[in-house]
């Protein structure tokens, strides 16, 4: 009996140990399964947690994901890449599109006088200004209007020679005609010539008339001795108000000197400023839609008549001219305009603007690779409202992020291999 009791106690002890071993083994297995389960965000795969919850970046519920040993190694390799070169994401991708795009160049400018229509009023004789009929700058004059009277000793001598021939050698037609022609060349009109022949007395001055219609611009400034010493036909120095002329009665002018310039506001051009990146797109003959800022309702269409072959000093733009008739619209000279130039279509490889990030002089895109996006430098060309032309840096089969800005936050810094 004693042996039977001992045998039963040994059996019970062994059974209890087996049960404990089974329980402990089951618990370890469950713990191993649980430890192999992780939770990640569908929008941000880099967010990984060992328990359920919400994504700290977007607030979405974390999804359960079972990881194999190989998957863990692959994700680890991706995550240890530099964050300023590689981005883990599953956003939509696009490829370059080879097609022809219509490009409209926008430019600002102003209305200016057409200098091809500029007229010059010059003194044909040296002498003193006896009477000045133009009183202030930018005064409007008409063709044939008297501008001034000039007294000239040379003119007096030529008149006296003619009158002497008529009185003492009336049959010498050759000399008489030569004397008349000289007076005409000195600026005397046909009516004045007939008048002195009828009177038999010389006039003390000759009148200067304008052969042009427009606005008077002073071409010279008075020197200290009262002579017109500096003449220029430029439009620089236009004053804000119509002040009086520096040229006064009693001053002397010299033969051949330009006294006034006459600009016709009815014959004008639009001077547009074209930025350097748009210069290759602009050609003569292209249609331009122009909207004057002072009178938007007077918008009109013109064509490019001339492209200046140089950049003006201190300017980063090239100027183009659009000739137009301003006699009907009467737009103020110097007023600003906005314009759109309809250029010829351009064939190339294009991607949306939102796919490109500008880093100053460098442009980059996010190129699709296994596990995410890699920063890729590109060279760009022409631009439209929505697209950018790619010159170098991408192949037609390369997939890039449609929205590159989405992959960057305000504190990101993108670095390329060459930058």
Nearest to 129 by CA among 260, 245, 255, 248: 248
Please indicate, yes or no, whether residues 133 and 251 belong to a single structural domain of this protein: yes
Residue 412 lies in a domain: no
Residue 417 lies in a domain: no
Please indicate, yes or no, whether residues 323 and 368 belong to a single structural domain of this protein: no
Query: pLDDT for 65-78, tens place per residue?
Result: 655 544 544 444 44
pLDDT of residue 108: 92
Average pLDDT over residues 121-125: 83
Is the confidence at residue 375, as pLDDT, over 70? yes
Domain end (from 312, 341, 370): 341
Domain count, the chain: 4
Please indicate, yes or no, whether residues 320 and 381 belong to a single structural domain of this protein: no
pLDDT of residue 36: 55
Least-confidence region, from 174-178, 221-225, 396-400: 221-225
Side-chain-facing half-sphere of 221: CA atoms under 13 Å: 6
Query: pLDDT for 306-346, tens place per residue?
Result: 998 888 888 888 899 999 988 888 888 889 999 998 887 78
pLDDT of residue 79: 45
Both tokens assigned to 279: 């210069």
Average pLDDT over residues 395-401: 88
Please indicate, yes or no, whether residues 246 and 123 belong to a single structural domain of this protein: yes
Residue 146 lies in a domain: yes
Please indicate, yes or no, whether residues 129 and 256 belong to a single structural domain of this protein: yes
Average pLDDT over residues 173-196: 86
Residue 316 lies in a domain: yes
Residue 89 lies in a domain: no
Instruction: Give, in order, the Cα–Cα distances in Å from 63 to each of 36, 87, 356, 407.
Output: 14, 21, 32, 22
Domain end (from 236, 263, 290): 263
Strand partners, 104: 342
Q: Which domain holds residue 170?
A: 118-263
pLDDT of residue 198: 87
Please indicate, yes or no, whether residues 238 and 132 belong to a single structural domain of this protein: yes
pLDDT of residue 270: 92
Please indicate, yes or no, whether residues 109 and 132 belong to a single structural domain of this protein: no
Residue 290 lies in a domain: yes
Residue 416 lies in a domain: no
Is the confidence at residue 413, as pLDDT, over 70? no
DSSP string, 204-229: SEEEEE-SS-EEEEE-EEE-TTSBEE
Residue 419 lies in a domain: no
């Amino acid at each position: 009996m004693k042996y039977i009791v001992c045998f039963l106690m040994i059996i019970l002890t062994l059974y209890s140990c087996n049960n404990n071993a089974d329980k402990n083994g089951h618990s370890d297995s469950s713990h191993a399964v649980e430890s192999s389960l992780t939770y990640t965000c569908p929008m941000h795969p880099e967010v990984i947690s060992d328990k359920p919850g919400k994504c700290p970046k977007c607030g979405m519920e974390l999804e359960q994901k079972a990881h194999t040993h190989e998957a863990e190694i692959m994700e680890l390799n991706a995550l240890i890449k530099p964050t300023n070169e590689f981005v883990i994401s599953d956003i939509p991708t696009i490829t370059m599109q080879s097609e022809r795009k219509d490009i409209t160049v926008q430019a600002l400018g102003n209305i200016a006088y057409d200098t091809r229509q500029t007229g010059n009023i010059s003194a044909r004789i040296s002498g003193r200004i006896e009477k000045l009929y133009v009183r202030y700058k930018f005064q409007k004059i008409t063709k044939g209007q008297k501008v001034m009277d000039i007294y000239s000793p040379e003119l007096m001598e030529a008149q006296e020679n003619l009158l002497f021939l008529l009185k003492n050698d009336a049959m010498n037609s050759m000399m008489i005609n030569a004397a008349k022609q000289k007076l005409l060349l000195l600026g005397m009109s046909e009516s004045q010539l007939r008048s002195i022949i009828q009177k038999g007395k010389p006039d003390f001055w000759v009148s200067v008339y304008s052969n042009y219609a427009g606005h008077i611009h002073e071409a010279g400034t008075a020197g200290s001795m009262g002579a017109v010493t500096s003449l220029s036909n430029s439009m620089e120095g236009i004053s804000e108000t119509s002040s009086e002329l520096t040229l006064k009665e009693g001053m002397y002018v010299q033969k051949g000197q330009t006294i006034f310039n006459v600009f016709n506001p009815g014959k004008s051009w639009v001077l547009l400023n074209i930025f350097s990146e748009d210069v290759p797109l602009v050609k003569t003959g292209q249609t331009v839609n122009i909207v004057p800022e002072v009178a938007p309702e007077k918008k009109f269409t013109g064509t490019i008549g001339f492209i200046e072959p140089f950049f003006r000093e201190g300017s980063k733009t090239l100027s183009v001219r659009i000739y137009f008739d301003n006699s009907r619209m009467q737009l103020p000279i110097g007023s600003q305009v906005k314009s759109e130039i309809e250029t010829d279509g351009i064939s190339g490889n294009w991607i949306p603007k939102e796919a490109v990030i500008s880093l100053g002089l460098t442009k980059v895109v996010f190129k699709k690779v296994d596990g995410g996006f890699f920063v890729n430098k590109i060279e760009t060309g022409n631009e439209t409202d929505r697209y950018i032309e790619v010159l170098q840096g991408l192949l037609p089969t390369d997939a890039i992020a449609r929205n590159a800005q989405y992959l960057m936050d305000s504190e990101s810094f993108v670095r390329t291999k060459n930058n």
